[in-house]
Structure 1
Amino acid sequence: MIAIGEFSRLTHLSVRTLRRYHEAGLLEPATVDDATGYRYYSAHQIPTAQIIHRLRELDVPLPEVQRILRSPDPDARATLVTDHLRRLETQLDRTRAAVASLRRLLRPEPTPLDVQLRAVPATTVAAIEDDVESDHVIAWYAGAMAELDAALGEQTGVPGGGSAGGQNGVPGGLYDNSLFEDGRGHVLVYRPTPDPPRRGRVHPVSLPAVELATTTHVGEHDDVDVTYGELGAWVVANALAVAGPVRERYLVGPRDTPDPAAWRTEIGWPVFRVAPG
C-alpha cells in the first residue's frame, strides 16, 4: 500500500485533490485505515490517476471523467474524449477569432473602407427562405445552400449547379433586420439562374431592384460584424439608409476554396443616395 503523500508525489496530484477525487467517487483509495482515516493506494492505481490528471488538464468536467473511466468499451471512451476535444477546438477557434477582431478594432489607424454605391436590377433567383434563430444561421445556411446546389445540379446536369455558359451567378443571401435586433428573423439564400426549379424547399423568387452601399469583407466570417459596423458608419455619414434586408454575396467562399484567407463576402446596405457621386 502507498500512503497518500507518496501517491501524491508519484502522480503529481496534490493531497487535497486526491481527497476531493475520493469524495467525488472518482479515485477511491485501495483502503482506508478505520482507526486513523489515512488513505492508502495501490501501485496499479497510478495510471488511472495519471489519466484523470490529463483529462482535467483538458478541462474535462468531473462527471464526464467519471463516465470515461467507468465505460468498459474502449471505443466509447475514445468517443467521449474525441467529443470533448472537438468542443475545445471549437472554443479555441472562437477565442482566436475574438482576439483577431479585437486587434482589428484596436488598430490606431483602421484601413480605409472601400465602399461603392451600386444600383442592382431586379433578379430572378432560385431561393430557400425561412425564419431562423441567429445562433442557427450558419448551420441553416449550409443545409440550404447544399439543397440549392443539388437542385440546380439536377437541372443543369453539372455537379453544384454550375454551367459551361456561366448562367448561374454568384450565390447570396438576404438577412432581415430582426435577425440582428431580436435574434430571430427572415433569411433567404439564393443562386441566380434564368430558370429557377421547384424542388423541395427550392422555389423561384424575384428579388426587387435596390440601391446598395457595398464593401467586401476579406477572410472568415468571425469578424464580419466589424465590417458591418464600418459600413454602417459610412452609410450614416454619406447616404440615407432605407428599410430592407441587408444583402450578402459570396464572391469566394468555402464552396470555392478551403483557404479562409481567400474568402470574399460582399455586404450590401440598402440606401437612398442623397447626393451624386
Structure 2
Amino acid sequence: MTATVPIGEFSRLTYLTIKTLRHYHEIALLEPVSVDPDSGYRYYSTEQVDQAHLIKRLRELNMALPQIKAVMAAPDQAARDTAIRAHLERMEAELVRTRDVVASLRALLLPSAAIDIEYRSVASYPALAMRAEVAREDCDVWCEHSYGTMYGQLAAANLAPAGPGGATYATEFFEYDRGEVVTFVPIEDRHRDRFDPESMLDLPARRFAIAVHAGPFTEFDRTYGALGSHVAEHDSALAEPVREIYLVGPGDAEPEDYRTEVCWPIGRL
C-alpha cells in the first residue's frame, strides 16, 4: 500500500531539503505525483522514497545531475545498474589517482634525495617504431596499442627485441598536453629487411646525461625536473626529445617496481 505525503513529510522521509526537492521538480529529475492547483503545494508518493534515496547517494558520489537524469530514465533495472557501475568504476579510478597524488605530495615534503646521473655515449641503432600525435590523456592507451603492435610484429617474424623498448615525446606534448609520441623497440640490424621500411627508425648516435627513474610514471616530473635542471646548469642540451628507455615497465612488474632510463641528449658523439 502506498500513500501520498506533502513535501515537508517527504523531505523528512528522504533527508532531502525542500529547496532541493523543488529544484529536482524544476529540472524534471524527481517530480511530485500531484501539485495543488490553488496553493501550488507539492505531494509525493511513498513509492518515490527509494528513487529519492538513489538520487541522494549518486549526488554524494559527485555524479552530475544530467547523468543522474540519464540513470533515472534508464529503460530497465539492468541498464540503470550498468550506468551506476560505470560511475563507480570512474570514482574508484579517481580514488587511486588521488591516493597516488597524496603519496607524491607527502614525498615532496621530505628533503630531496640526490639524483644519480650517468654520462653515456650511445651508438645509432635500428628499431621498429610507431608515431602519432597523441593527447596526454590518451597516451597510456596509445602506447599500449603501439607496443602490442610492434611486439606482435616481432613474434610473427619469430624474433626477439634487441633491447628494451622506449619512447620520445615532442616538446609540444609537454607544452600543450598534445604532441608527437614515438614508441620504438630495438631490433638487430641484420633483420631490418624483414620489416616494412616505413615501420623502421634509426635512432641517431647521441651522448646523454642519464638518470634512472624508479617507480610509477606519476612521479616522472620529479626525475625530469632534477635531471633537466642538472643539464641546464652543467651541460648544453640538444633541442630534441628526451629518450625514455623502459627497463622494467607495464606487463613486467607492479608500478612501484618500474625502472626507466631518462636520457637527456647533450651532444653528438
Flag structure 1 segments of 5+ consecutive residues without an equivalent: none
Which residue is equivalent to 1:118? 120
CA positional deviation for 1:73: 2.4
Alpha carbons 1:212, 1:271 under 8 Å: kept: yes
For residues 263 and 21 of structure 1, the distance between their equivalents in structure 2, rounded to whole angstroms, comes to 48
Matches of 1:252 and 1:77 in 2, distance apart? 41
1:75 aligns with 2:69: no
Q: How many matched pairs?
A: 262
Counterpart contact for 2:131–2:182, Cα < 8 Å: yes
Matched, 1:173 2:170: no
Partner SS state of residue 270, structure 1: strand
Please report the TM-score for the alignment, with normalisation by the length of structure 1: 0.86
1:271 aligns with 2:246: no
Q: Answer yes or no: is the 8 Å Cα contact 2:123–2:204 preserved in 1.
A: yes
Task: Indicate which of 35, 39, 62 corresponds to 2:38.
Answer: 35
Partner of 1:188: 182
Alignment pair present for 1:22 and 2:25 = yes
Task: Answer yes or no: is the 8 Å Cα contact 1:125–1:207 preserved in 2.
Answer: yes
- Give yes or no for contact 2:206–2:267 (8 Å, CA) kept in 1: no
The 1:198–1:74 alpha-carbon spacing in structure 2 relative to 1, beyond 3 Å, is: farther
Compute the displacement of 1:168 (Å): 2.9
Identity level (%): 40
Alignment equivalent of 1:89, drawn from 77, 87, 92:
92
Q: TM-score when scaled to structure 2?
A: 0.89
State the one-letter code of the partner of 1:256. D
Query: Aligned letter for 1:263?
Result: Y
State the SS of the aligned residue for 1:50. Answer: helix
- Assess, with a 3 A threshold, how the Cα gap between structure 1 residues 133 and 60 changes in structure 2: closer, same or farther: closer
Say what the alpha-carbon RMSD is for the aligned residues: 2.1
Mapping for residues 139-154 of structure 1, pairs under 5 Å? 139-154=141-156
One of 247, 250, 255 as aligned partner of 1:251? 247
CA distance in 2, matches of 1:238, 1:106: 26
Preserved CA contact (<8 Å) 2:212 2:259: yes
Structure 2 gap segments, 5+ residues each: none
What is the letter of the counterpart of residue 198 of structure 1? Answer: F
Q: Return the alpha-carbon distance in structure 1 between the equivalents of residues 63 and 120 of structure 2.
A: 51
User: Per-residue displacement from partner, 1:191-249 (whole Å, max 9, x unpaired)?
Assistant: 111124426x9722221111111111122111211210111111122222122220001
Instruction: Assess, with a 3 A threshold, how the Cα gap between structure 1 residues 185 and 67 changes in structure 2: closer, same or farther.
Output: closer
Residues 1:13 and 1:184: Cα distance change in structure 2 (over 3 Å): closer
Could you say which residue in structure 1 is the equivalent of 2:52?
A: 49
Q: Which amino acid aligns with 2:261?
A: E
Other-structure match for 2:7: 4
Structure-2 separation of matches of 1:176 and 1:34: 65
Shift in alpha-carbon separation, 1:228–1:8, aligned structure 2, 3 A: same
Once the 2 structures are TM-superposed, how far is the Cα of residue 74 of structure 1 from its aligned partner? 2.3
Aligned-partner Cα distance in 1 for 2:15–2:178: 49
Counterpart of 2:255, as a letter, is: P
